[in-house]
Structure 1
Amino acid sequence: MEEVEVPCYFVCPISLQLMRDPVTLPSGITYDRDGIERWLLTAGSCPVTKQPVPEDLEPTPNHTLRRLIHSWAAIHSFAAHAIQTPPKPATDRGRVASLVSRVAAAAAAAAKTTKWSSSELLAALRELRDVAAESERSRKLVAAVPGVADALFAVLVASGDGEALEIICSLQLPEQCLLRAIETNDSELVDALVSALQRSNAASREHAALLLQKVMSLSPNRNLPEQVFLEVVQLLRDKQQVSKAATKAALHVLAGATPWGRNRVKAVDAGAVPVLVDMLLELEERRACELALGALDRLCGCAEGRAELVAHGAGVAAVGALMMRVSDVTTDKAVRVLRSLARHAATPAVLQEMAQTGAVGTLCVVAAQSSEHCCYSQRTRERARETLRLHARAWRTSPCLHRHLQAIYPDC
């Protein structure tokens, strides 16, 4: 089918896409409503002519152009679903900007009194939350208001307000805004999230976990307080009472915070290892298994983590059972965990358990895979061979190892 060229006057000058809801500014230039509303929140002028646009002005719908676009799309069978006119907006940019200003002003006033029970602040937050919940368009408008992240984070840090936390999690805030807010509030923000994790409200705990995940992804080199790991581990224990999103966020935090020694030990002391092992015995979702094994791999980077794993009655068996069963990622992580044990925790009892639970046999199968027909990476296969060579004397002739596995055991 010949590609259809979209007429230039049907294209929004901002998004360079076919307009769905064309609106015209006093300058005479027409834009798609979604793009121009977000632009005016930050610039306040026409993008093409640079003429100022009053804050309270609403762009005029261009009904004639919209009908032309629809007629043209119908004639050319041009992705009709993509140009359907959105419903009439319930929220305008002026209202959104006014709400954010109210939140910022009420937060500043409440901060001076050291009491965060301001009825004006609470009312503004709840109205802003309702606006953000209206539609994707409304959330984009709120996120585009200058200073919205600073205002909401200020409220969250000073009061731990649940509405502020919910709004932050619902918005797709630009990374630079989030990073600035994180750096500005630093440890106070972490303390506020810990307080939210300690609440009985499942929604607040989920929002706190999701925001903590964002904090760790944008600012990973952080030495977190012990209380963070205690609450994250408790969230994993309560996985039946919280959402899957909250559980995955907690796993992301554990994996993301523990490449460094101090955080690893704190997580182990919080009881993370036995909780992760228990999860591996129950989890069925692929991504959750990958995250749990990834966190366990990080924790086995310290002696305390390895000791906790071998002390768990099903620790070695759970890791070995996931090799070659869920995904390439879980296979790689499981091999890494077993290699850590073989290198640094190889007591006779541990070596025997690895053979008895079938972990050694599965390592043989992974190591023997040929590069041509193997889905595992070369690095994974090399790690498996390295692990088997470490204790070949103990394992190669083990009665727990079947003869066909002994035959493919790598040479020392």
Structure 2
Amino acid sequence: MSDSTKGTEVPSYFLCPISLEIMKDPVILSTGITYDRESIDKWLSTKENVTCPLTKQPLTDIELTPNHTLRRLIQSWCTINAPFGIERFPTPRLPISKSQILKLLQDSKSPNLQMKCLRRLKTIAMENDMNKRSMEAVGAADYLAYIIANPSEVSNVDEAVSLLYHLHVSQNGLKALFGKSDEFVEALTRIMQCGASFESRTYAILLLKSMYEAAEPIQVMAVKVKFFNTLKQILLNPISRKATKAALKLLIGVCPWGRNKLKAVEAGIVSVVIETLLDCDEKRISEMLLMVIDQLCMCADGRAELLKHGAGLAIVFKNIFRISQVATKTAVKIIYSVAKFSGNKNVVQDMLQLGVVGKLCLVLQVNCGNKTSEKAKEILMMHARIWKKSSCIPCHLISSYPS
């Protein structure tokens, strides 16, 4: 109950069962329970399995019916209690209906009206989450995917990509879009690479990221080398920070599956990620770049590419203690992969001369987490015969070298 209602007796049926505040816009769920629109909107938008908060019944229909009678009672009560400082809630504007959305979708099939309808639909989607869910329920996502995969006007495609992103399609909806047609995914990949605007390219990347996160493993394993080539171009020629982060999240998400590591290495991702890391001054992006290297170093070709790059091992080593604990942990994991699986005589000597060994001894002295310390210790033990007696390790660190 809000402070403004203190000193007055509020009828219990005026209160929203979720927030226990007086309802400003009472609406009825299909279960027959009345809630405040804003509260039930928040509940439904944060629940993967949509249920009625009170009855716990699953909701097959999330249509909210305005409870006009209860709203008028609440407004009358507010007016009567105005002397106690209670303000009358204004009559809310009726939300868009599914029939109105369907009419706009139908009208947008006319080439002359398509852009106007898409812009109107975007305005509706941006108003609230319930509108987004209503649009998805009547098939707006499928229709937008069709426009994107079968372009007539470039500007219309850009608007469709933007609208589809702002719909925030559900996980099930994203999975359905992914499985609908290869043409749609390929169209988004094309837009990601050479869309008409930076904005549409960014939205295409973000959509693909969400779709791959929702996709089945077999779909993720089917990624082609040209997809990684496109992501490489995004990193080489950044569109925006948001786009760069989305591209890196895509790489981190798809690389563990099937032969995707090899495809990424074949596309030249390793050298591009190293070059990007050399010039990066943003914490989160640096962390994600290291995560990509870590993923790719889990295969022999990835480690070979890292070692072939003149600055590969050095930039990984440099990021221990430099950015964050996450970066330190990831850098140690990369060095572990190299030391364990690619630690030939030359690599071992390079690590010694770069100062990697001394830095690993320091990891043992500083609280970097048990797993990171264990990995550092194991690396040092692997090549102790060569490293332990080296003059390259500072005296104050050699004491922490594991026996």
TM-score range for the pair, normalised by the shorter chain length: 0.7 to 0.9
The percent of aligned pairs where both chains have the same amino acid is: 33
1:211 is the counterpart of 2:207: yes
Report the alpha carbon displacement of residue 234 of structure 1 after superposing the two structures with TM: 0.8
- Counterpart pick for 2:384 among 382, 388, 392: 392
Match of 1:328 in 2: 325
Q: Secondary structure of the equivalent of 2:168?
A: coil
Report the alpha carbon displacement of residue 405 of structure 1 after superposing the two structures with TM: 1.9
CA contact (8 A) 2:16 2:23 kept: no
* Distance change (3 Å), C-alpha of 1:406 and 1:64: same
Separation of aligned partners in 2, 1:143 and 1:103? 9
- Counterpart pick for 1:154 among 143, 146, 168: 146
Separation of aligned partners in 2, 1:38 and 1:98? 23
1:98 is the counterpart of 2:100: yes
For residues 227-246 of structure 1, the aligned pairs below 5 Å read 227-239=226-238, 242-246=239-243
Match of 1:128 in 2: 121
* Distance change (3 Å), C-alpha of 1:394 and 1:29: closer
1:11 is the counterpart of 2:15: yes
Match of 1:52 in 2: none
Match of 1:302 in 2: 299
Q: Secondary structure of the equivalent of 1:168?
A: helix
- Counterpart pick for 2:402 among 394, 398, 410: 410
Separation of aligned partners in 2, 1:339 and 1:308? 16
Match of 1:357 in 2: 354
CA contact (8 A) 2:178 2:185 kept: no
Match of 1:367 in 2: 364
* Distance change (3 Å), C-alpha of 1:165 and 1:6: farther
Tell me which amino acid in the other structure corresponds to 1:340: S
* Distance change (3 Å), C-alpha of 1:336 and 1:119: same
Q: Secondary structure of the equivalent of 1:408?
A: coil
CA contact (8 A) 1:335 1:380 kept: yes
CA contact (8 A) 1:297 1:337 kept: yes
* Distance change (3 Å), C-alpha of 1:139 and 1:207: farther
Comparing 120-129 with 351-360, greater Cα deviation is found at 120-129
Report the alpha carbon displacement of residue 67 of structure 1 after superposing the two structures with TM: 8.1
- Counterpart pick for 1:280 among 271, 277, 280: 277
Separation of aligned partners in 2, 1:99 and 1:154? 17
Report the alpha carbon displacement of residue 346 of structure 1 after superposing the two structures with TM: 2.0
Separation of aligned partners in 1, 2:358 and 2:216? 37
* Distance change (3 Å), C-alpha of 1:6 and 1:214: farther
* Distance change (3 Å), C-alpha of 1:157 and 1:38: farther
Tell me which amino acid in the other structure corresponds to 2:179: E
Report the alpha carbon displacement of residue 68 of structure 1 after superposing the two structures with TM: 5.7
Deviations 1:98-150 (A, max 9, x none): 2345426755xx8xxxxxxx3344432232123334x3457546556432333
CA contact (8 A) 2:82 2:88 kept: no
RMSD of equivalent CA atoms: 4.1
CA contact (8 A) 1:20 1:86 kept: no
* Distance change (3 Å), C-alpha of 1:292 and 1:75: farther
Unpaired stretches in structure 1, ≥5 consecutive residues:
40-46, 49-54, 111-117
- Counterpart pick for 1:254 among 242, 251, 256: 251
Report the alpha carbon displacement of residue 385 of structure 1 after superposing the two structures with TM: 1.1
Report the alpha carbon displacement of residue 255 of structure 1 after superposing the two structures with TM: 0.8
For residues 45-194 of structure 1, the aligned pairs below 5 Å read 60=68, 62=71, 65=74, 89=93, 92-94=95-97, 97-103=99-105, 118-133=111-126, 135-136=127-128, 140=132, 142-143=134-135, 145-159=137-151, 161-185=157-181, 187-194=182-189
Separation of aligned partners in 2, 1:198 and 1:105? 31
What TM-score, normalized by structure 2, do the two folds share? 0.78
CA contact (8 A) 1:165 1:207 kept: yes
Separation of aligned partners in 1, 2:326 and 2:84? 48
Comparing 67-76 with 219-228, greater Cα deviation is found at 67-76
* Distance change (3 Å), C-alpha of 1:250 and 1:64: same
Count of aligned positions: 371
- Counterpart pick for 2:193 among 171, 192, 198: 198
Separation of aligned partners in 2, 1:236 and 1:71? 63
Report the alpha carbon displacement of residue 73 of structure 1 after superposing the two structures with TM: 12
1:32 is the counterpart of 2:25: no
Match of 2:58 in 1: none
Match of 1:113 in 2: none
Report the alpha carbon displacement of residue 213 of structure 1 after superposing the two structures with TM: 0.9
Q: Secondary structure of the equivalent of 1:119?
A: coil
What TM-score, normalized by structure 1, do the two folds share? 0.76
Report the alpha carbon displacement of residue 153 of structure 1 after superposing the two structures with TM: 2.5
